[in-house]
């Protein structure tokens, strides 16, 4: 989700169910499979291992609900947890309140925009932008300003680590039909739900709008539907090094997963570490360059919801194959409704590609 995504967006409400933690709360059957399918089974372990090597304090930007923040603080590290979303941070605070006092004391929370980050503390040994956070800053100037802002907060020689999806493995064209995931179970309520997603085609800035809806089966048999929408910008391999260099970093490693497998063009992810170049002080972040109005990432707007009750009633884990990583779910597509109604029939007016095109 991006900085303009409202707190009641469904992707915020369902975040911890979509991207469950095996370390916080009671792990549920099926979560390992869910995380493995998304390609993030090993991310928390990877960042913890890195943090144990570099030591703290750790700057985590895009901390969200604390999926990584809390395990880092449990390791004994001081963590500055930064996020622009009040809704995500509210969930982090609620989870942190259930931790031991010593863990709580090690986490400092700041609601800030990464592109204009300005913390009272500097000289971080490690800065993290975990799980697609850089992609979710879809304005290229703000993305670059984010890297510069992080560098300005880090000690010379300190490590930056982040992971983003590898664009050649993602759908670059507009989805012709929305794709539902297989049914999932919300750990807090035990309710079964289905997330249905689709994306627009890549625009000239390599941005896509990803949107859809959640259908949750409530205990009384009714279905609650709620919308989500966000933009992301795909970062291609060839961009990585120039972006990092411009912000004052030297690329140190690039892997295709969290186990350190060599990156290839077919890799699912780009898992990156870089170092602040010694003696080089990154320029302070500058305000993003004003673009023509047509260049703006359009604000997120509502998506017509459509229920998929038949999927909700399917046993969890036995639905059609699906795959998710904050964005599109891949599965066999349901046929579009025969006419009228919310959702599919509205798509051409709800998501004109012109909204994304410069001009």
Residues that bind ligand SAM (CB under 6 A): 1-3, 19, 61-64, 67-68, 83-85, 88, 113-115, 130-133, 136-137, 326
Rounded to a whole number of angstroms, the distance between the first and last alpha carbons of the chain is: 25
Which positions ≥6 away from 184 have C-beta within 8 Å?
Answer: 17, 18, 34, 192, 193, 194, 195, 316
Q: How far is the CB of 339 from ligand SAM (least distance, A)?
A: 36
Nearer to ligand SAM, 214 or 344 (CB): 214
Taken in order 105, 110, 114, 117, the sign of the CA dihedral is negative
Nearer to ligand SAM, 131 or 344 (CB): 131
Q: Give the Cα separation of 195 and 186 in Å (integer).
A: 12
Q: How far is the CB of 265 from ligand SAM (least distance, A)?
A: 23
Q: Give the Cα separation of 169 and 222 in Å (integer).
A: 37
Measured from each CB, the residue nearest to ligand SAM is 64
> For residue 30, which phi and psi values (nearest 5 degrees)?
95, -15
Q: Give the Cα separation of 210 and 200 in Å (integer).
A: 7
Q: How far is the CB of 3 from ligand SAM (least distance, A)?
A: 4
Q: How far is the CB of 156 from ligand SAM (least distance, A)?
A: 24
Classify the phi-psi angles of 317: left when phi > 0, otherwise alpha if psi is within -120 to 50, otherwise beta: left
Which positions ≥6 away from 292 have C-beta within 8 Å?
Answer: 358, 359
Q: How far is the CB of 89 from ligand SAM (least distance, A)?
A: 8
The angle formed by the CA atoms of residues 141, 146 and 149, to the nearest 5 degrees, is 125
Nearer to ligand SAM, 20 or 256 (CB): 20
Nearer to ligand SAM, 139 or 216 (CB): 139
Nearer to ligand SAM, 284 or 337 (CB): 284
Nearer to ligand SAM, 115 or 235 (CB): 115
| Residue 17 structure tokens | 């169910």
Q: How far is the CB of 66 from ligand SAM (least distance, A)?
A: 7
Nearer to ligand SAM, 132 or 273 (CB): 132
Q: How far is the CB of 337 from ligand SAM (least distance, A)?
A: 31
Q: Is 130 helix (H, G, I), strand (E, B) or coil?
A: coil
List, as one string, the DSSP characters of 30-87: THHHHHHHHT-TTHHHHHHHHHHHH-S-EEEES-TTSTTHHHHHHTT--EEEEES-HH
Taken in order 133, 96, 88, 213, the sign of the CA dihedral is positive
Q: Give the Cα separation of 301 and 225 in Å (integer).
A: 15
Nearer to ligand SAM, 113 or 215 (CB): 113
Q: How far is the CB of 146 from ligand SAM (least distance, A)?
A: 7
Nearer to ligand SAM, 84 or 211 (CB): 84
Q: How far is the CB of 61 from ligand SAM (least distance, A)?
A: 6
């Amino acid at each position: 989700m991006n900085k303009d995504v409202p707190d009641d967006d469904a992707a915020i409400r369902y975040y911890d169910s979509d991207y469950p933690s095996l370390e916080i709360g009671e792990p549920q059957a099926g979560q390992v499979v869910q995380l493995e399918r998304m390609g993030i089974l090993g991310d928390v372990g990877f960042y913890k291992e890195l943090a144990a090597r570099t030591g703290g304090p750790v700057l985590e930007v895009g901390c969200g609900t604390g999926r990584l923040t809390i395990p880092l603080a449990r390791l004994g590290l001081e963590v500055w947890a930064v996020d622009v979303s009040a809704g995500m941070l509210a969930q982090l605070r609620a989870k942190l309140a259930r931790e031991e006092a010593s863990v709580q004391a090690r986490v400092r929370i700041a609601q800030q925009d990464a592109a204009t980050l300005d913390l009272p503390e500097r000289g971080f040994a490690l800065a993290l932008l975990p799980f697609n956070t850089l992609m979710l800053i879809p304005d290229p100037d703000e993305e670059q300003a984010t890297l510069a802002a992080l560098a300005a907060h880090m000690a010379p020689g300190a490590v930056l680590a982040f992971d983003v999806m590898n664009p050649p493995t993602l759908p670059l064209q507009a989805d012709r039909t929305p794709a539902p995931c297989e049914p999932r179970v919300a750990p807090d309520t035990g309710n079964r739900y289905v997330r249905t997603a689709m994306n627009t085609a890549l625009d000239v800035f390599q941005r896509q709008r990803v949107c859809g809806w959640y259908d949750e089966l409530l205990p009384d048999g009714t279905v609650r539907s709620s919308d989500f929408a966000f933009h992301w910008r795909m970062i291609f391999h060839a961009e990585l090094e120039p972006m990092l260099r411009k912000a004052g970093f030297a690329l140190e490693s690039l892997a295709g997963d969290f186990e350190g497998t060599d990156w290839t063009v077919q890799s699912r992810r780009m898992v990156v570490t870089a170092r602040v170049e010694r003696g080089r002080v990154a320029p302070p972040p500058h305000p993003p360059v004003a673009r023509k109005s047509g260049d703006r990432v359009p604000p997120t707007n509502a998506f017509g919801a459509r229920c998929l009750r038949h999927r909700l009633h399917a046993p969890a884990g036995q639905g059609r194959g699906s795959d998710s990583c904050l964005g599109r779910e891949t599965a066999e597509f349901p046929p579009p409704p025969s006419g009228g109604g919310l959702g599919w029939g509205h798509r051409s007016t709800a998501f004109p590609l012109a909204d994304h095109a410069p001009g």
